[in-house]
Amino acid sequence: MRLLKITLSLAVLVLIISAAWQIGSWEVANMNLQEEIRDMASQAGTHLGIVVPKSDDDVREEVVRKAKDHGIDLQPDQVTVRRINPGEKSILHVTADYTVPVNLAFFSFNLHFTPSSEKR
């Protein structure tokens, strides 16, 4: 009986650690992607006149590439780019919307993320 309790306790502990590891790794990847999006949206070089402003499609492709660097499968249609005051002094708002699967031994579920360039 004691051996059964120990075995079940270890199995539950492994399941909890596995879930925490998967959820934690996706949360960290999302936070990193959000920082990348905020850096892109700040357009520091554009406001200083050093860099030519990027098109909306270029911004989308860069977000997709950055997401892939963090292990996130993102498509261009999942990225929204809005501009306020077009031109060199434009304000860029970038948002991504995606879900990632968390697969555990007996069940799975999806985590939904919406990283954005806007401060909350």
Helix (H, G, I), strand (E, B) or coil at 67: helix
| Amino acid code (one letter) for 40 | M
Task: Give all strands (DSSP E) within the chain, no chain letters.
Answer: 79-84, 91-96, 98-103, 108-113
What is the mean pLDDT for each group of 10 consecutive residues in the chain (120 residues)?
92 89 94 93 62 80 94 94 77 92 86 88
At residue 60's C-alpha, the angle toward residues 58 and 66, to 5°, is 100
pLDDT at 67: 95
pLDDT at 51: 63
Predicted model pTM: 0.82
pLDDT at 28: 96
pLDDT at 42: 81
pLDDT at 45: 52
